[in-house]
Amino acid sequence: MPKQNIYQLDERELIDQVAQWGFTREAGAAIWRCLHRDAPGSIQQVLGVPAALVQRLDEAYEITPVVADGQIGASHEGVLKYLLRLTDGVQIETVLLWYGRRRSGCISTQVGCACGCPFCATGQTGYVRDLTRGEIVGQVMFLQRELHAVGEALTNVVLMGMGEPLLNYTNTIGAIRRIVDRRGLALAERRVTLSTVGVVPGIDRLAREPLSVKLAVSLHAASDELRDRLVPLNRKYPLDALFRSIGDYVALTGRRVLLEWVMIDGVNDTREQAEELAYRAQGLHVHLNAIRLNETPGNKWRPSSVERIDAFTAILDEYGVPHTLRQSRGASVAAGCGQLRGSRQGVRTTPDQSAFAGSRASEDPVLDEGRVSLDVPSGTAGEAHVEDPQI
């Protein structure tokens, strides 16, 4: 009988199982604490309980996912990308972003993606299956274990990896609850961001959840004609419905919504798109996060030039739309936004903890939202990068 991922269990299920084996419920609670606070790499590393209990646990459960073919680090950017293997052999990618005082995990929620956005490598691979709650939590704990090895810990989690989180709603929300549970990982809710391409029923449902996580919507276009091309799900949930949902979310939660916008040269960086975006954003508590397109194999488009980005954002300034130009990280190792595909692309088989070292000593260039990164070359205002305040 194959072993089960132990992170699939909730606390009561684990404690009940331990009790059925004849051990105390307190021992089950101790295992739970160890799994989430110590992030052990295997069942044999679970501490604080009798050896006989560890043996029983090891016979029935395992800790997944595990590294499949290696780790690739871009130390100058503070990025580590991991190719992880799940119990059934399928592979996913997860990313650790390390800069300043932030340690952020970019987590996948599906194997592949059904949304089919043409500029996104994950979307071009197609959909394979949803990740379970335990597989989503397992990625977070994997990154926590990597950080513990160098005396650090996760500060933020962004559900922006492979897949559409709101098309795997139950498992995604279940994983978030575990991440923020004070008896689990105990990460602050405001340090968790969920990104969606605009699954309207999911946004409406999320607005009513007793969770104060942050919401990002991958918008990328402000007219249905263009967004139908860039985000095919727009044909099911067009912009009028999406912005009504965003407005309802803001009204119900009182929280700002991030609008994500990949800048594509000559496609969505036009005056018309900027003005349409400004019109739709008027009166809404939203903030635009723009990022230059990360190129992927087979992608016919190119990132916007500095001049076109300047012109686009100047129009947003005219209309008073708050915006941030995100600094792209990890593109050199196919770990940037839209580049994850769950393959061996760019993977080095020898793990290298020294990849952490390149950014450990640097000061966080952004302490508050809207503050410009300190490493911008002088005389290049159009290239000013501002960190995503959510990552």
Domain 66-383 sits in CATH at: 3.20.20.70
Kindly state the average pLDDT of the residues 206-219.
98
Per-residue model confidence as pLDDT tens digits over 81-112: 888 989 898 989 999 998 889 999 999 999 99
Per-residue model confidence as pLDDT tens digits over 20-35: 999 999 999 999 999 9
d(C-alpha 69, C-alpha 351), whole Å: 9
The boundaries of every CATH 1.10.150.530 domain in the chain are 4-62
Class of domain 4-62: mainly alpha
Residue 70: which pLDDT band, with cuts at 50, 70 and 90?
low
**Beta pairing partners, 81:** 72, 95
> Which is higher by pLDDT, 383 or 75?
75
pLDDT for the residue 76? 60
- The DSSP 8-state label assigned to residue 304 in this structure reads P
Q: Which of 11, 295, 337, 387 is flagged as catalytic?
A: 337
59 included as an active-site residue: no
End-to-end CA distance of the chain: 40
d(C-alpha 101, C-alpha 359), whole Å: 10
Q: Which of 11, 77, 93, 135 is flagged as catalytic?
A: 93
> Which is higher by pLDDT, 215 or 327?
215
113 included as an active-site residue: no
**Whether the Cβ atoms of residue 287 and residue 241 lie closer than 8 Å to each other:** no
d(C-alpha 166, C-alpha 101), whole Å: 29
Best CA proximity match to 215, nearest among 179, 170, 248: 248
List, as one string, the DSSP characters of 175-216.
HHHHHH-TTTT---GGGEEEEES--HHHHHHHTTSS---EEE
Per-residue model confidence as pLDDT tens digits over 333-391: 444 454 444 444 433 333 344 444 444 333 332 222 322 222 222 222 233 333 444 44
The boundaries of every CATH 3.20.20.70 domain in the chain are 66-383
| Radius of gyration for the chain, computed over Cα atoms and rounded to the nearest angstrom | 21
- SS3 category, 86: coil
